[in-house]
A and B are shown apart, each in its own frame.
Chain A
Amino acid sequence: MTTDPHCDADLAEVGAEFTYFRRHCSSLDWRLLHLVFGSLALFLVLVAVGFAVAGAWLIIPFAGIEIAGLGIAAWWTLRRSGDFERLAFDGDRIVVEIREQGLLRQFEFNRCWARLVTGDAGTVALRSHGREIAIGRFCGEESRQALARELRNRLDGHRLYRINQVTSAGEA
C-alpha cells in the first residue's frame, strides 16, 4: 500500500497480527515554543511593570490578557501535537485507540462483525452494532483510501477464514 511519506507511521506488523499507527503531523519543537512564549511573556511583564512604575499601570491588564491568550494558543498547540490514531487486529478483536486534543479514547470491535464504510467526502469508518468510528483522520486522501482497501481485504479475508473454519468443523 502507499503511505504518506511525511508521518512517522504507516502500516506495520508489530506484535498484533496487523497494526496501523499514525501521528498528527506536527513540526512543533516544544523547546522552541517555550522559548517563544517565555521570552514574549517575560518581555511583556518587564514592559508592563516598567510603565506601571512610571505611572501607566493600565498596560498591565492588557499584557496579562495577551500572555493568557498566547498561553492558551501554545497549550492548545502542544496538546494537539501528541495526537495519534492506532488500530490493531488481534485475533477476533479490532482495537482502535485515538488520542485527540490530549484525550485518549479506546474502542473495540468484533472482527467478524465489523464493517468498513466509506463516505462521499472520502471519509472511512469502522461500523458495528450501531457504533461507528472514523479512522484515517491524520492521513491524506490517497493514504486513507489505501488504508481502506487494506482493511477491507483483511476483514473480508478473516470472515472467509472463519466461515471455512465453521464449515470444516461441521463436516468433521
Chain B
Amino acid sequence: MDAAHAHTHDHGHDDHGHKPSGIMRWVKSTNHKDIGTMYLWFSFTMFMVGGVMAMIIRAELFQPGLQIVRPDFFNSMTTYHGLIMVFGAIMPAFVGFANWLIPMQIGAPDMAFPRMNNLSFWLLPPAAMLLIAAQFMPGGGAGVGWTMYAPLSTQAGPAMDLTIFAVHILGISSIMGSINIITTILNMRAPGMSLMKMPLFCWTWLITAYLLVAVMPVLAGAVTMTLTDRHFGTHFFNAAGGGDPVLYQHIFWFFGHPEVYIIAIPAFGVVSQVIPAFSRKPLFGYASMVYATASIAILSFMVWAHHMYTAGMPVEAQLYFMYATALIAVPTGVKVFNWVATMWKGSLTFETPMLFSLGFLFLFTLGGFTGLVLSITPVDVQLHDTYYVVAHFHYVMVAGALFSAFAGIYFWLPKWTGRMYNETLGKWHFWLSLIFFNVTFFVQHFLGLAGMPRRIPDYALQFAEFNAISSIGAFGFGLSQLLFLYIVIKCITSGDKAPDKPWEGADSLEWTHLPTPAPWHSFETPPVIK
C-alpha cells in the first residue's frame, strides 16, 4: 500500500470555477481559446507590419526610377515582407483557428499539451522582434529574398544571423504546435467522433500538422548550414570550397513547396465549413475531400524542383517535375468541384463569410490555373522571376489563404465574442478587398508576361502604367484592412448579442452543442456523437 497524499488540487489548468484575469491570464494561459485569440491578434499585428512593408514596396514602384527608398532597403522590404507574411501572419492565423476550433469541433476540453501550447505561442513574439530588429542591424536588413538563397545569404550582413535565429524559433513553435494538434486529434476525440466524422477543418489541420512535422527539420538544416557557412568555415553552399549553391535551392524548396500547402490546406478546411453552412447542405463528397487533401499533401513532396527549372537540371527531371506538378490539379479540381456541387441547388445566402469563401473559390482557382501555366517547363523558363510569378502566388496566398481566413473570422466571430459583427460593413470589407486585390495583382500578370523582373526597385518605362495601377490597388487594399480592424473591434465592444446559432446551416459541434459565446471551459463532459 502506498501512502496517500493530498491530491485535491492537482488539476491546475482544469480549475473549472476560476477564470484568471489581468495580464497573467494571457502570459500563463493554458486555455486553448485564450491561446487561439493571442495567435489571431499576433497574426493581425504581423499582417499590419508586413502590410506596411508592402506599401513601401508599392510606393517605390508607383513610378519608374528611384524615388523613396534605397535599393538595398527595397530588397530588405521584399525579404521581410515575405518572411513576415508567411511565418508571422498567415501561418499563425490558421494556428489560431486550430487552437480555437479543433477542441470544440472534436468535443475535447482543451489541447493535449496545454503548457506546450502556451510555449509554442510565446516563442512567436521574440521571433517577430528578431525579424524587425534585423532592419536596424549594421548594413540594414538582409536583402536576400524570403527564400534566403545561397550564396547571397552566406555573404549578407549581420541581419542574416538574426533572420536565421528567427526562422529557427518559428520552426520550433510550428513543430510544437503540430505535435499538439496531431495528439489532440488522435487522442481526444469525443466518443463516436471517428476520424471520418470529424469536420473537414480538423482533417485539413491533421494533414497540415503532418506536413509541418515532415518538412521543418529540412528548413532548420538549411538555415543552420547557411549559418555555419557564414561563421564556422563550412562550405555546404560555397562552390569555391567544394559546396553546391544549387543544393540550397533543392533543400529550401523541399521545404518550401509543402509550405505552400501548409498555408493552403487549412484554408481549404475553413472554406469547407463555411460553404455548406451558407448553402444549407452537407459538404458534397466528404470522403473524396479528405482523400483529395491527403493526395495534395503527398504530391507536395514530389514537385519541389518546379521552382528551379532555370537552375539547370536534366530534361528528364524537368519532364518529371512538370507532369507531377500538373497532377496536383486533379485533387485540387476535386475540391473545387465539391465546393461548387455543395452550392448546387442549395438554399444560398450571401453573408460576409460566404462572400469571402466565394471570393476564395474564384480567385484561388485562378491562382491554381496560373500555377498550371508555370508548371510547364518551357513557359516557366520565360516567366521565371517575373511579375507573373508574383501575381500567381499572391492569388494563392492572399485570395486563397487570406480571404479564407477572413471568411473564417467572420464565420466564427459570433462564437468567439458572443456578438455579431456589422454585416453591412463586412460586405463593404469584402467588396473593397476583392476589387483592390484584383486591381493590385491582376495587372501584374501582364507585367510578368511583358518581362518585368521581380525584386527590383526600378523598371523600364514600358511598365509604368500597370505598376501605377497596381500600386493604387495596393494602397486601397491596405486601407480596406483598417476597415476590417474597425469591424472586429466594434463587434467585440458594441456588437449586437449573437444568438447561440447565428448561421442556421452550421452543424459542427461548436454550433450545435455549445452556447454562444463559447464558455471558458467547454466539453468538460464529452458529447456522444451518433
Contact = CB atoms under 8 A, between A and B. Distances in A.
Interface of A: 4-7, 25-29, 32-33, 36, 40, 43-44, 47-48, 51, 54-56, 58-63, 65-66, 69-70, 73-74, 77, 81, 105-108, 117, 119-123, 125, 131-134, 137, 139-143
B446 interface: no
B251 A51 contact: yes
Which of B5, B112, B183, B236 has the most CB atoms of chain A within a 10 A radius of its CB? Answer: B183
Contacts of B191: 5-7, 25, 27
Given A26-B187, A59-B221, A73-B112, 7 more contacts: A6-B528, A25-B191, A27-B186, A47-B214, A51-B254, A121-B16, A122-B17
Nearest to B17: A121
Given A40-B210, A106-B1, A134-B8, A56 B251 contact: yes
A44 B216 CA distance: 10
Interface in B109-128: 112-113
Interface residues of B, number: 53
Given A55-B244, A121-B16, A141-B524, A132 B4 contact: yes
Given A25-B191, A69-B175, A51 B210 contact: no
B217 A59 contact: yes
A27 B218 contact: no
A11 to B, nearest CB: 16
17 contacts: A6-B527, A7-B191, A28-B186, A32-B195, A44-B217, A56-B221, A58-B225, A66-B213, A66-B216, A70-B179, A77-B183, A107-B2, A121-B18, A122-B17, A131-B3, A140-B524, A143-B525
Nearest to B254: A47
**Majority SS at the chain B contact face:** loop
A100 B236 CA distance: 48
Interface string B1-44: 11111111111000111100000000000000000000000000
Contacts of A141: 16, 524-525
A6 B7 contact: no
A43 B214 contact: yes
A5 B528 CA distance: 7
B2 A105 contact: yes
A36 B210 contact: yes
Interface string B329-357: 00000000000000000000000000000
Contacts of B324: none
B156 interface: no
Given A6-B190, A123-B9, A44 B214 contact: yes
A87 to B, nearest CB: 13
Nearest to A63: B217
Contact of B183 (A55, A74, A137): A74
B520 to A, nearest CB: 13
Given A6-B525, A125-B7, A54 B250 contact: yes
Given A44-B217, A63-B217, A121-B18, A142 B525 contact: yes
Nearest to A96: B4
A48 to B, nearest CB: 7
B65 interface: no
B213 A40 contact: yes
Nearest to B224: A58
Contacts of B82: none
A121 B9 contact: yes
B183 to A, nearest CB: 5
Contacts of B250: 54
B228 to A, nearest CB: 7
Contacts of A125: 6-8
B225 A122 contact: no
B233 to A, nearest CB: 14
